[in-house]
């Protein structure tokens, strides 16, 4: 079965075509500048086919999907002979609100529920909907489409973890609560962790640290999310590349009054100019911060220290929330690649009997246990693969 996985943004569209026999990626690519001018990079991963990397006109997402199908089926760049070889499409959808606790086949009713979640993710859900509609338009109604939600995995959180201490009508009427994000990634690495440890997921207490441009931590007890650091929006929790993470909300009023910022200007500062970029004044990229700190830049060092400290604090609180922890998982750009970050975070847990193996920790890009054999808590590096989860869920639902 061949499955196309789509991640549609407001002006971009990422895709991967999977052959589920062997779970191989046949081709992947990225449409950019949709609605502006347009660029497509298409990379076939089978021998004898060429990469396509050119500016092409992409006025809407429908033209982008048509261009993707054209490349996937072309003799020079393609990996299938016709569109009918694509059995189903799996879409990443950011917000499923309280409607969806698992992936679903997209129907008219499902579309209405996704639309109802637009106010909860105004930058993401409308773009995801545009991607789904573009696929329907180009591929027709016969090819089933599936929605896989970033929020779904966290729907198992208990009320005490998802409730904010504000008047209850804001939850009852307006659905203000913690939703959490990166659920597809946390779910994938938790499943892999159980396989690596050779134990049923039902008996494991795991803490998954997804650390990339956006970062979140998830407490996973018996395979279910019981708490997570992102909240109603992906702005909170850890300090991130450019996002502030947890912040005293009184600061917003103070700065708006003092500088006359509008709420949009204030939110732009908290979303785009804060996090490790804001603290360091240098970069949102941890590689730049590592280099600057190594050359003695104190602000870069403070940004890194603050990040490590906050990650460690959340891990500590989740160990308490679950009354134990069997393994801590590191994933995403920073978690998978930065041995310095992993080592600095694990320093906080030596009192737990948590010991890192420096040699294993220096490896990159592979699933690996980085704790010593006598460490009381296992430490695992697991490269995430959200696209594969979307493809698997899609296969499962359309089978």
Cβ nearer to ligand AMP, comparing 148 with 334 = 334
The residue annotated as part of the active site, out of 37, 150, 227, 393, is: 150
How would you class 159 by CB atoms within 10 Å of its CB: exposed for 0-12, middle for 13-18, buried for 19 or more? exposed
**Residue 150 annotated among the catalytic residues of the structure:** yes
* 301 near ligand AMP, rule: CB under 6 A: no
d(CA 116, CA 96): 9
Q: Which residue is nearest to ligand AMP (CB)?
A: 333
208 contributes a contact to ligand AMP by CB under 6 A: no
Q: Is 338 in the site for ligand AMP (CB under 6 A)?
A: yes
C-alpha span between 209 and 364 (Å, rounded):
16
Binding-site string for ligand AMP from residue 57 to residue 86, where x marks contact by CB under 6 A and - marks none: ------------------------------
Q: Which residue from 181, 286, 318, 330 is in contact with ligand AMP, where contact means CB under 6 A?
A: 286
- Which range touches ligand AMP (CB under 6 A), out of 38-46, 168-176, 266-274, 334-342? 334-342
Residue closer to ligand AMP (CB basis): 61 or 243? 243
Is residue 94 a contact partner of residue 149, using CB atoms and an 8 Å limit?
yes
Please identify, among the stretches 12-20, 147-155, 230-238, 332-340, the one whose residues bind ligand AMP according to the rule CB under 6 A: 332-340
CA–CA dist 277, 292 (Å, integer): 12
285 is a site residue for ligand AMP (CB under 6 A): yes
Asked if 240 interacts with ligand AMP (CB under 6 A), we say: no
Measure the CA–CA gap between 238 and 246, rounded to whole angstroms: 7
Nearest to 394 by CA among 29, 69, 129, 23: 23
CB of 364 to ligand AMP, least distance (A): 7
Q: Are 221 and 252 in contact (CB under 8 A)?
A: no
Q: Is 291 in the site for ligand AMP (CB under 6 A)?
A: no
Beta carbon nearer to ligand AMP, 110 or 276: 276
What SS3 string covers 277-304? HHHHCCCCCHHHHHHHHHCCCHHHHHHH
At a CB cut-off of 8 Å and minimum separation 6, what does 42 contact?
A: 27, 29, 51, 52, 53, 68, 71, 72, 77
Selected range binding ligand AMP among 107-115, 314-322, 331-339, 375-383, rule: CB under 6 A? 331-339
145 binds ligand AMP, rule: CB under 6 A: no
Name which of 352, 290, 292 is nearest 327 in CA terms.
352
Closest CA to 305 of 276, 285, 326: 276
Nearer to ligand AMP by C-beta: 72 or 332?
332
The region of 43-51, 55-63, 129-137, 328-336 touching ligand AMP under the rule CB under 6 A is 328-336
- Please check whether residue 159 is in contact with residue 178, taking contact to mean a CB–CB distance below 8 angstroms: no
CB of 185 to ligand AMP, least distance (A): 9
Smallest distance from ligand AMP to CB 291, Å: 10
For 240, left (φ over 0), alpha (ψ -120 to 50), or beta?
A: beta
CB of 53 to ligand AMP, least distance (A): 20
Q: How far apart are CA 261 and CA 263, in angstroms?
A: 6
For position 275 contacting ligand AMP by CB under 6 A, the verdict is no
List phi, psi (to 5°) of 387: -65, -40
Does 216 contact ligand AMP by CB under 6 A?
no
Minimum CB–partner distance for residue 283 and ligand AMP (Å): 8
Chain residues in the site for ligand AMP (CB under 6 A): 212-213, 241, 285-287, 290, 332-334, 337-338
Q: Name the residues annotated as catalytic.
A: 150
């Amino acid at each position: 079965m061949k499955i196309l996985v789509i991640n549609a943004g407001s002006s971009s569209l990422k895709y991967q075509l999977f052959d589920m026999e062997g779970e191989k990626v046949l081709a992947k690519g990225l449409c950019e500048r949709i609605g502006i001018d347009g660029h497509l990079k298409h990379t076939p991963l089978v021998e004898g086919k060429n990469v396509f990397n050119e500016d092409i006109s992409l006025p809407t997402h429908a033209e982008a999907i048509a261009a993707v199908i054209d490349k996937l089926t072309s003799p020079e760049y393609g990996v299938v002979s016709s569109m009918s070889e694509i059995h189903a499409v799996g879409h990443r959808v950011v917000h499923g609100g309280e409607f969806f606790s698992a992936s679903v086949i997209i129907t008219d009713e499902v579309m209405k529920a996704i639309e109802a979640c637009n106010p909860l993710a105004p930058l993401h859900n409308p773009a995801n909907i545009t991607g789904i509609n573009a696929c329907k338009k180009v591929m027709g109604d016969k090819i089933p489409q599936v929605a896989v939600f970033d929020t779904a995995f966290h729907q198992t959180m208990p009320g005490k973890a998802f409730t904010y201490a504000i008047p209850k009508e804001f939850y009852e009427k307006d659905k203000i609560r913690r939703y959490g994000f990166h659920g597809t990634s946390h779910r994938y690495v938790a499943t892999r962790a159980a396989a690596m440890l050779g134990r049923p997921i039902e008996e494991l207490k795991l803490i998954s640290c997804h650390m990339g441009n956006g970062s979140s931590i998830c407490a996973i007890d018996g395979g279910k999310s019981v708490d997570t650091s992102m909240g109603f929006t992906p702005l909170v929790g850890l300090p991130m590349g450019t996002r502030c993470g947890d912040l005293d909300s009184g600061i917003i009023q103070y700065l708006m009054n003092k500088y006359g910022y509008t709420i949009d200007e204030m939110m732009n500062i908290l979303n785009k100019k804060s996090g490790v970029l804001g603290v360091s004044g240098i970069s949102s990229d941890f590689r730049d911060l590592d280099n600057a700190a190594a050359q003695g830049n104190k602000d870069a060092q403070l940004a890194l220290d603050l990040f490590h400290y906050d990650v460690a604090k959340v891990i500590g609180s989740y160990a308490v929330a679950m009354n134990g922890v069997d393994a801590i998982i590191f994933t995403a750009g920073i978690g998978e690649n930065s041995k310095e970050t992993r080592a600095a975070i694990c320093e906080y847990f030596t009192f737990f009997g948590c010991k890192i193996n420096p040699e294993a920790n220096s490896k990159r890009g592979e699933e690996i246990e980085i704790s010593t054999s006598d460490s009381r808590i296992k430490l695992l590096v697991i490269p995430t693969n959200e696209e594969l989860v979307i493809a698997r869920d899609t296969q499962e639902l359309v089978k």
